[in-house]
Amino acid sequence: MNGKKEKLVVIGNGMAGISTVEQILKLSSRFDITVIGTEPYPNYNRIMLSYVLEGSKTLDDIVLNDLHWYEEYGITLHMGTTVSKIDSDTREVVTTDGSRVPYDKVIIATGSNSFILPVPGHDKQGVVGFRDIADCNTMLDAAKNYKKAAVIGGGLLGLEAAKGLVQLGMEVTVVHLMQDLMERQLDSTASAMLKAELERQGIQFKMGAQTSELLGGERVEGIRFADESVLDVDFVVMAVGIKPNITVARESGMEVNRGIIVDDYMQTSLENVYSVGECTEHRGVCYGLVAPLFEQGMILAKHICGVETAPYEGSVVSTKLKISGVDVFSTGEFIDGPEHTVISHKDEWKRTYKKILLRDNVMVGAVLFGDITDSAELQKLIKQQTEMTDDLYASLMGTGCGGHKKATSVETMAEDEIVCGCNGVTKGHIMDAITNQGLTSIDEIKASTGATRSCGGCKPVVEQILQYVLGDNFTTGAKQGICGCTSLSRDEIVAEIRQKGLQTTKEVMNVLGWTQPEGCSKCRPAINYYLGMIAPDTHEDEKESRFVNERMNANIQKDGTYTVVPRMYGGVTTPEDLKRIADVSVKYDVKAVKVTGGQRLDLIGVKKEDLPKVWAELDMPSGYAYAKSLRTVKTCVGSQFCRFGTQDSMAMGALIERKFERLDLPAKFKYAVNGCPRNCAEACTKDIGIVGNDGGWEIFIGGNGGIKARLADSLCKVKTDEELIELCGAIMQHYRETANYLERTSEWVERVGLESIRAVVVDDIQERKALMERIEFALGHVEEPWQKAIRNEQGENKLFHGIEVTSRP
């Protein structure tokens, strides 16, 4: 190559392809790498989509390699681009837009697509698969507007989708053709236990049901089954399986069957073209689970880098169900037959089950339910075709599967044994990182080696290795920080900022010894908030440390447009403001105007380039629907109009909203103000809920009506409006100063304790007044970010994220 780097093109920006790239980067610098991905995102953890769906994680949380990573390693990334074929004559990869990328070697990692049952009505609105972020967003949107969902398919993916939709408040029925759930991974006993547990969590089941038709007009309205029975639904998730995405290979003339056919070194029938992941067929098998895909990637990486490696001979697959509150594991063979010796234990009281299958006294498979402590050990033993012994039996079954057993020893593990199958990380690699880099926490190991980064199933073994290496220093050394970039806690960071007078995010990271110099999506926004909370008069807000919605002053939608929510104090508006909203919506072709649950109007579908002009022409304050701040103050009509009202809730709600808007908080914050105990504004599910009565007001705190619903606690009663405002300000400032970043008040109250909060803001009058003074000081140094973004000192044209603006409010 005359010193020039070889051109490696990777088709597919998913987990299998990028994991292979990561392995290549460890072995060689001989390649100039280009990655082409269909989705408009960097590489993210697809197996964590169920957590995004249930709301416990965001897209940012599951990104494995952000854009900085591609830049750091000089990788050219094309997002939102689809490859149509490989032209082997010209040695170019051709995209659907006609672009051509030259190559010396190609890796195809196009993954798989959802299999949609070809029944009548499968193409109706409201029918979706569950494979990527776009599907996830569709399901999240559906949960806001529809109530009855069906998930067709009772396998791993279907159950994860069902639990996510239940968490979002939908009535969910899992429709399954077979009589057992996850029949490809579990025996009938474990399947029945799983079904019973999921029923306790709110999922309904229709077993042994064959779907024959999806009913309805443009949108799905029901499912008809082969027995002519009908299930009424308004949303359907197809989770009946996946099919390898072999389009590129077929169009390029490669040998394909169900998947792209490869040899033991992942070579396709086309010279210098390789395939890895779910799109691949090896020895007649296509794998749809994560670990085999990374095993393939490790061998492929070594092969194309010229490093000696054993051939790929297939994988022993294992399965873990990623549903909160349900622990299920399966590996190897799981259905016992005449040729098996069966070792099993079932404990109906503790709801645990363990079964190990032997053939000729060799361990060939296992199923665990309820207690999966031994999963890593069993997977290793079965992969190594270990013979059962009395000692091994005593270790695995000695106290019963529900009992307390000592942790699996890592001392006897070989150093080249893979601990994290998802990312190909060995015991030796982890031990070297702990020793050479001084690592003391799981998060540090994850950041350094990638272990635990994907499914997290190896975390117990990684922790055991950490304890084994650190010995007596384990307890004190393995302290968890706010993220993997630091071992410092929230309180320690705030104390250091105060003590050392740190003023910027970069300064904090540098002085306090961040392991990642640029930080991450978890710590950058947190530090920016802490700096502003500590020194509101001097801190310059760092836009680059804000989430995208806050940077754009609007919520981004799945189609790339934005929603704009102007402020309506206490949910009250005027005809003039309504006319202005209508005029702007028509002028800028807004797709819909939605009345929100917070008594405001949401302008949906604003183009990015129109955002500053929309804000300018509305000439209304932002409702901060995108911000970690006061979102809404919901009110009833109160004593002004209601015959039951005892207090003027509309006026009080507007007063509170005007007073505390604009201020940054650890997380989004919602109020409700009721004019009487009938509670029409729903104070019981708000961060601060206020209920009027004949004698004054009662204050409730820590309510949440979202995914983790919580009823608010009664904090105190006050007699005057002045006391109410002072208490509200003190509560908010105490929360600002003591809560973790992104911690809602519902979690804060449970962590800190209601009595502790009451002692500070209610009982200690001096501290309450001091808190109120501090929040007044902070309020005096903030202004609307949308105003700040479009004004300059001379009042001349200003660029708003690259868009020229000629008018301003």
Q: Which residues pair with 364 in a beta bridge?
A: none
Give the up-direction half-sphere exposure of residue 644: CA atoms within 13 A in the CB hemisphere.
Answer: 11
CA dist list (Å): 255 to 107, 270, 283, 492: 15, 8, 13, 59
Beta-carbon neighbour count of residue 116 at 10 Å?
Answer: 16
420 is in an annotated binding site: no
Residues in the chain: 809
Q: Which amino acid is at 499?
A: Q
Tokens 């059962």, residue located: 388
676 is in an annotated binding site: yes
CB 81 within 8 A of CB 103: no
CA distance 690 to 698: 6
CB 702 within 8 A of CB 710: yes
Beta-carbon neighbour count of residue 27 at 10 Å?
Answer: 14
Report how far Cα 433 is from the mean position of its chain's Cα atoms: 27
Beta pairing class for 43-44 and 63-65: antiparallel
CA distance 162 to 416: 39
CA distance 762 to 777: 21
Tokens read off for 639? 């004593």
642 is in an annotated binding site: yes
Residue 323: name the closest of 160, 133, 156 by CA. 160
Q: What is the DSSP letter of 710?
A: B
Residue 274: name the closest of 285, 264, 284, 286 by CA. 264
Tokens read off for 536? 């509101």
Beta-carbon neighbour count of residue 186 at 10 Å?
Answer: 27
Residue 731: name the closest of 753, 757, 711 by CA. 757
| 3-state secondary structure (DSSP) of residue 692 | strand
* φ/ψ (deg, to 5) at 601: -115, 130
Report how far Cα 272 is from the mean position of its chain's Cα atoms: 36
* φ/ψ (deg, to 5) at 432: -65, -40
Q: Which residues pair with 329 in a beta bridge?
A: 320, 368
DSSP 632-691: EEEE--GGGT-TT--S-HHHHHHHHHHHHTT-B-SS-EEEEEESSTT-TT-GGGSSEEEE
Beta-carbon neighbour count of residue 15 at 10 Å?
Answer: 26
CA dist list (Å): 327 to 17, 277, 330: 29, 26, 10
636 is in an annotated binding site: yes
Residue 133: name the closest of 36, 252, 44 by CA. 44
How open is the CA angle 660-507-802, to the nearest 5 degrees? 65
CB 730 within 8 A of CB 703: no
Beta-carbon neighbour count of residue 660 at 10 Å?
Answer: 21
Q: What is the DSSP letter of 399?
A: T
Tokens read off for 686? 């708000």
Q: What is the DSSP letter of 704?
A: B
CB 559 within 8 A of CB 593: no
Tokens read off for 328? 């299920």
CA dist list (Å): 85 to 76, 90, 92, 99, 454: 19, 12, 9, 11, 30
| 3-state secondary structure (DSSP) of residue 4 | coil
CA distance 620 to 306: 63
CB 101 within 8 A of CB 92: yes
Annotated binding site for siroheme: 680
Q: What residues are designated binding site for [4Fe-4S] cluster?
A: 636, 642, 676, 680
Binding-site sequence positions: 636, 642, 676, 680
